[in-house]
Amino acid sequence: MGPYIVGYIGLIFLILLIFSGIPVGFAMALVGLVGMCYLIGSNAGLGLLTIVPYHTIASYSMSVVPLFVLMGLFCYHARINEDLYRALHKWLGHLPGGLAMVTVWACAGFAAVSGSSLATAATMGTMALPEMKKYKYDPKLATGCVAAGGTIGILIPPSIILIIYGILTEQSIGKLFIAGIIPGILEAVFYVVTIYILCRSDPLMGPRAATQVNLREKLRALGGVWPVLTLFLIVIGGIYLGVFSPTEAGGVGACGAFLLTLVRKRFTWRDFTSSLIDAADIVAMTFTILIGAYIFGYFLVATSIHCGVADFISGLHLNRYIILAFILLIYIALGCVMDSLAMIVLTIPIFYPLIIALNFDPVWFGIIMVRVVEIGLITPPIGINVYIIKGVAKDIPMETIFRGILPFLIADFCHLALLIAVPQVVLFLPGLMK
């Protein structure tokens, strides 16, 4: 069999292995290893096992992953998210749908220190859903805003997905982080506008809080917000001004988060050990997927299948935005059945050369791709964030949660259309970096 045929057979087997329940990292490593042994011989193929794992992990640039993960976990165990939610509640709780708006902004704030959509959805769901139930919010709006708001976690920096994209494509992680700021804030704005429209058309969906809080209490409540703002400004501001690299920013962020936990006296020895253990679990999973992705990437290069796909699509002589729409539709379809990290490591070797050939900016495409991956997190039938919310709100039917996210999906596509139509929304801040 020729390399092309072997490549397509490998892709089919990879999909079958993933759907059979085998972890995606092991599935990619297995298919890549067997394929390389077939194409270039068992000695050279097995030699990848002696090279790829070490060179993937023993890298200075890769140390950014555990550092940002640890920063988010320190903030989570110190319950900084609770202060953030309480402060925003005092400012916005009296508006129609105010608690839902608070939840979206709290998700954005927590995303700025956690970098994880799943952690954001689980944390804010645990806090926000009981409050909205107490104020008799419609279950569709309550669960929908938490599931959608949780997706902001992989767009607002620091984002593990953007780090992985930067490593795989050799793009500046700092520029990717800065590029995600305006789109992330706009995403929250689109969600808040959606909530406002829903609650204006049907006030029973999101009743106002019974009492308003005076200005003094509102200002006092802001004391709970400063840890998130301080940490975010130090980490992202340092990257933007060129004071330190993303890896150094991760170290500063993790250290800063740890110091904040000590200052606020909420951090026990048990919280510290839990943070380290959880970080080790997340990083081990991420690195396993990356090792598998690199082995599978060698296999794709050996088959030249990615070049074949790029040449075929380029040869169709279609408008480049039509080709981009086709790629994004594939991402949305994959998002219905696959984890976001698995999607990226599986598709980047195939689509990235095509994006470069079409003269799209790689930083811009990284944000667009992450935005589409976010949509996949709340898209049926998988919608991982929806299942996270179902785990928190066991009494709410899955059908209700999926119905609740539909207005937010409409907002997602409007936001995506804006980012595609006006690339400077993404590229303005990175263009100003030193």
Residues spanned by the domain of 376: 59-267+304-432
Residues 110 and 189 in one domain: yes
Whether 415 has a pLDDT exceeding 90, the answer reads yes
Q: How far is CA 320 from CA 82, 253, 307, 416, in A?
A: 45, 39, 17, 17
Query: According to the model, what pLDDT value does residue 212 have?
Result: 67
- CA distance linking residue 240 with residue 230, whole number of Å: 15
Average confidence (pLDDT) over 232-254: 84
Give how far the C-alpha of residue 347 lies from the chain's centroid of Cα atoms, to the nearest Å. 16
Q: Is the pLDDT of residue 252 over 80?
A: yes
Q: What are the pLDDT digits (tens) for 352-392?
A: 888 888 899 999 999 999 899 888 878 776 677 777 788 77
Tell me what pLDDT residue 114 has: 64
> Is there a domain that residue 279 lies in?
no
Asked if residue 275 is part of any domain, the answer here is: no
Length of the chain: 434
Contact 137, 116 (CB under 8 A): no
Same domain, 357 and 382: yes
* Mean pLDDT score of the chain: 82
Calculate mean pLDDT across residues 216-236.
77
Single out the residue of 113, 431, 423 nearest to residue 249, CA to CA: 113
**The pLDDT value given to residue 350:** 81
Q: Is 338 a member of any domain?
A: yes
- Look at residue 277 and tell me if it is in a domain: no
Q: Is the pLDDT of residue 339 over 70?
A: no
Nearest to 256 by CA among 127, 78, 116, 87: 78
Domain count, the chain: 2
Please tell me whether residues 123 and 180 are part of one structural domain: yes
Residue 408 covered by a domain: yes
157 and 172 in a single domain? The answer is yes
Which residue shows structure tokens 């003094």? 216
Residues 164-183 pLDDT 10s:
898 888 898 889 989 999 99
Q: Are residues 261 and 166 in the same domain?
A: yes
Closest CA to 4 of 310, 308, 315, 297: 308
pTM attached to this predicted model: 0.79
| DSSP-assigned letter for residue 97 | T
165 and 102 together in one domain: yes
Between these two residues, 423 and 109, which has the higher pLDDT value? 423
Choice between 306 and 414, residue whose per-residue pLDDT is larger = 414
Give the model confidence (pLDDT) of 76-98 as tens digits. Answer: 777 776 777 777 777 777 788 88
List Cβ neighbours of 221 (8 Å cut-off, separation of 6 or more). 86, 87, 90, 91, 213
In a domain, 274, yes or no: no
Asked if residues 157 and 177 have their Cβ atoms less than 8 Å apart, the reply is: yes
What is the DSSP-derived secondary structure letter of residue 418? H
17 and 79 co-located in one domain: no
pLDDT at position 189: 94
Mean pLDDT of 313-322: 79
Average pLDDT for 10-23: 81
- Shared-domain flag, residues 165 and 289: no
112: in domain: yes
Task: Return the pLDDT at 367.
Answer: 94
What whole-number distance in Å separates Cα of residue 7 and Cα of residue 174? 34
92, 226: one domain: yes
| Same domain assignment for residues 135 and 166 | yes
Mean pLDDT, rounded, for 65-81:
78
> Which one, of 412, 417, 430, lies nearest residue 182 by Cα?
430
**pLDDT digit string (tens) for 98-145?**
888 988 888 887 776 666 676 677 777 777 888 788 888 899 999 999
Mean pLDDT calculated for residue range 46-51: 82
d(CA 340, CA 376): 8
**Does residue 140 fall inside a structural domain?**
yes
Tell which wins on pLDDT, 87 or 321: 321
Both 65 and 167 in a single domain? yes
Say yes or no: 362 and 240 in one domain. yes
